[in-house]
């Protein structure tokens, strides 16, 4: 594993059961990110680049009702608007939302929040 990561700076690592994934970038400071995945004890396989398409795909998730798991309803009457979001992303990026979704209060379970 160490040899495979020798030419990379590890940005973050996620691990579950036997699987490990690392987000890495090369030491050449090109700004190119890659995912490397592998099994514990089995080493990492080849890297998969994180391309501009990935960033574009993530932007497509913003305020998109398909696959969203929470909707914020803002405004009143004719001014009412729906904002579609993803709990996991909100909770990870913002401590306030993380606390709200873990609270056990109504907002943590309802699909639509007013």
Tell whether pTM > 0.75.
no
On whether both 69 and 50 belong to a single domain, the answer is no
On whether both 80 and 97 belong to a single domain, the answer is yes
Give the distance, in angstroms, between the CA of residue 65 and the centroid of all CA atoms in the same chain: 17
69-83: pLDDT as tens digits:
999 998 888 889 999
Give yes or no for residue 38 having a pLDDT over 70: no
Which pLDDT does position 56 carry in this prediction? 74
On whether both 68 and 39 belong to a single domain, the answer is no
User: 65 pLDDT band (50/70/90 cuts)?
Assistant: confident
- Split into its structural domains, the chain has a count of 2
On whether both 51 and 68 belong to a single domain, the answer is no
81-113: pLDDT as tens digits:
999 999 988 888 888 888 988 998 888 888 998
């Amino acid at each position: 594993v160490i040899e495979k990561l020798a030419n990379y700076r590890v940005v973050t690592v996620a691990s579950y059961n036997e699987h490990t994934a690392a987000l890495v970038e090369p030491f050449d400071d090109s700004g190119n990110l890659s995912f490397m995945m592998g099994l514990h004890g089995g080493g990492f396989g080849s890297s998969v680049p994180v391309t501009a398409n990935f960033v574009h795909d993530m932007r497509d998730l913003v305020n998109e009702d398909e696959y969203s798991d929470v909707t914020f309803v803002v405004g009143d009457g004719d001014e009412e608007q729906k904002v579609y979001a993803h709990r996991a992303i909100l909770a990870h990026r913002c401590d306030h939302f993380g606390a709200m979704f873990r609270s056990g209060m109504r907002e943590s379970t309802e699909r639509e929040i007013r």
